[in-house]
Amino acid sequence: MLKEKFAKLEEKIGYRFRDTRLLRQALTHSSYANEQKINKSGDYERLEFLGDAVLELVSSDYIYQQYPDMTEGKMTKLRSSIVCEPALASCAREMGLEEYILLGKGEEATGGRGRDSIISDVMEAIIGAIYLDSGIDEVKTYIHRVILSDLEHKQLFYDAKTILQEEIQKENKGVLHYELVSEDGPEHAKIFAVNAMIDKVIIGSGTGHSKKAAEQKAAYEALIHKTYIIAD
């Protein structure tokens, strides 16, 4: 059963592991390891540590090569937006990675499968696993394809709230704020709906598992449709 699931995930991520034990470890949360009485090294934490360092190196190299005129400060800001928790979780969800995480019953019951912190950790653990399995060239290809592709569009999404605030200040349109519209679902899996507003005018709407995520989507919608320009 797990072997079949892992094979499907390999198809989604576009990489076939030589040592599938690395993939299993990358997907194993400590709660599952504890329940199954797996040795501590059997969860993803050590692979996440390695993957975080590899991701920072590869993304730093990419930014340095692609943006020769960018200052150190702007490069640091761009890298931060690429490797931040919400950004990695978003990339992971595009391939449905959260469906494959091995969680203990307690963590599952409290909504761990939808938590950005866990999903992003697993994303970094997979990077570490690919690095150990095949080396820097293969993991670099993976990072470029999954995380660094269409970077300008992704940066707009990841930094939507900051960018929208800056644009509204330029336009002198009024005061940007976010209004919580609804909060549905059980405590461990709530869905928040939020409106981005200039004074009393709605310029964007978004939903998410946290207020912050919903606000980000609302801001992104306003930027894409440029509703903040026509708002009175």
Report helix, strand or coil for 208: strand
Catalytic member of 48, 98, 116, 124: 124
Specify whether 133 is catalytic. Answer: no
Measure the CA–CA gap between 232 and 146, rounded to whole angstroms: 39
> E strands along the chain, which residues?
176-184, 191-198, 201-208
Catalytic member of 43, 48, 52, 133: 52
List the one residue out of 85, 62, 51, 90 whose CA is nearest residue 148. 62
CB 184 within 8 A of CB 191: yes
Burial (CB count <10 Å: 0-12, 13-18, 19+), residue 159: buried
Specify whether 43 is catalytic. Answer: no
Chain-centroid distance of CA 212 in Å reads 13
No. of H helices and E strands in the chain?
13, 3
Which residues have C-beta within 8 Å of that of residue 4, sequence separation ≥ 6? none
Measure the CA–CA gap between 172 and 215, rounded to whole angstroms: 21
Q: Which residues are catalytic?
A: 52, 124
